[in-house]
Amino acid sequence: MDLIAQVEEMPLPGQTIIGTDFATGSGGKGANQAVAAALLGYPTEMVGAVGEDVFGQAMLDNLVRTGVGTKGVMRVAGSSGVAPIFVNARGENSIAVIPGANGKVDREAVDAHAELIRSAGMVLCQLELPIDTVAYTLALCKEAGVPVMLDPAPAAPLPDDVWPHVAWLTPNETEAAFYVGNTSSIEDTASQFFDKGVRGVVLKRGGDGAFVAQAGGRAEWVKPFQVEAIDTVGAGDCFNGAFAVALLEGLDPWAAARFANAAAAISVTRRGSQSSMPRRDEVDAFLNQRQ
């Protein structure tokens, strides 16, 4: 659950400030990406966990309301995951994630929903679950021939044998630097991920667009759409959900990234994470106006 405080400027260490607004909203990278995909009209199932607190039921209700299947979501004792978020007047955000129930999604939970995972056209993973669980899921997908899109956020060390299981890696600039350091060029950044075994990379750069590359193949920038951003929370997740939908519908990666840029552009003009995700008709209309 996102706990979102609107502020003029981010508080400094030891500083108390007066905020301008506060709201709660269903969040979590996995759930955000699931909602983004479902609202765009693609059949979507969530595998994860919520707690037995008031946030847990609210998040489940929101998934159902947005069209996400919840048969893979467990209720477990204790707190749901929460994320206190500061958003400043320029739409920039600072986030702390407390995993809560997410930390209880283990190998047994994955095994319980293995057939659901094997049936997927694509599996989207993030790093808000235990790393062992993510690695186990990727190995299962590799065995089943299911492509995986990995959003390596929040950035954390990954075992070397994870990388070859990734069809699409989608880091932002900070996350990419965590894994390969400050490289000489964006092409070099992509190349270093290919050396690890990743087959496709989308390097997300916010207002600069996205660099989309495939190992041994095409590599190009996909330009962003210019909009007036008021809240960037969840924009990267919106991109991932939309990128996955477009790929599964048969678009090439660069056309898929343009579609995803459009969805993300709409999302940053609204407040909240899942509440900012656009419907398919909105994205189609947005793109039609910008042919």
Q: Which residues are catalytic?
A: 237
Distance of CA 121 to the CA centre of its chain: 17
Give me the long-range contacts of 172-180 (CB less than 8 A, separation at least 24).
172/203, 172/204, 172/205, 172/206, 172/236, 173/203, 173/204, 173/205, 176/203, 178/152, 179/152, 179/155
83-87 and 93-95: which strand pairing?
Answer: antiparallel
Confirm if 170 and 243 have CB atoms less than 8 A apart: yes
- Residue 266: how many CA atoms within 13 Å on its side-chain side? 26
Amino acid, res. 22: F
d(CA 289, CA 277): 19
How far from chain centre, in Å, is Cα 285?
Answer: 23
Q: Are 154 and 97 in contact (CB under 8 A)?
A: yes
C-alpha gyration radius of the chain = 18
Phi-psi region of 272 (alpha: psi -120 to 50; beta: other; left: phi over 0): left
Tokens read off for 67? 């069209």
